[in-house]
Amino acid sequence: MEQYQDFGIEVDEEGRLILPREIRERYGIRPNTRIRSSDMGNGLFVSSPTRLAKLYVEPTSRCNLACRTCIRNSWDEQPGTMSDKIFDRIVSGLCL
Ligand code: SF4
């Protein structure tokens, strides 16, 4: 279960929101960064510009099952496997 942390946001004279330093650092929000936000009707949702929450890597399209609804049935490509070099490059590009 996710734990949510409440925190205050200051609003300056021009209506700009000022996030606490801890939050800015945690999400890699730097000055002059444009971040995405949405009006949820009962609040604002602000998403981080740089923090990757999840990454799904499909290292192979090979499968020993044969589901009728499989997306692979609509592909022309042969099943394949990602090379170790590409996989390692993806992992090394993550900011862990
Ligand atoms: S949907 Fe496709 S990839 Fe998934 S288990 Fe079935 S055959 Fe395999």
Give one DSSP letter per residue of 14-67, joined into a string: TS-EE--HHHHHHHT--TT---EEEE-SSSEEEE-SS---------B---S---
Ligand 1 site residues (CB inside 6 A) read: 63, 65-67, 70, 72
- Of the listed ranges 5-14, 30-39, 56-65, the least confidently predicted one is 30-39
SS3 of the chain: helix, strand, coil, percent, to 5: 20, 15, 65
pLDDT at site 93:
82
- C-alpha–C-alpha distance, residues 62 and 82, integer Å: 10
- Tens digit of each residue's pLDDT (9 = 90 or more) over 57-95: 999 999 999 999 999 899 998 999 999 999 999 888 876
pTM for the full predicted model: 0.46
- Tens digit of each residue's pLDDT (9 = 90 or more) over 40-59: 999 988 887 666 778 899 99
- Which of the pair, 41 or 4, is modelled with greater confidence? 41
- If one residue of 70, 74, 81 were mutated to test the ligand 1 pocket, choosing by the most ligand atoms within 8 A of its CB, it would be 70
Domains by residue range for the chain, with CATH: 10-47 (2.10.260)
Instruction: Please give the number of the atom of ligand 1 that sits closest to the Cα of 69.
Output: 1
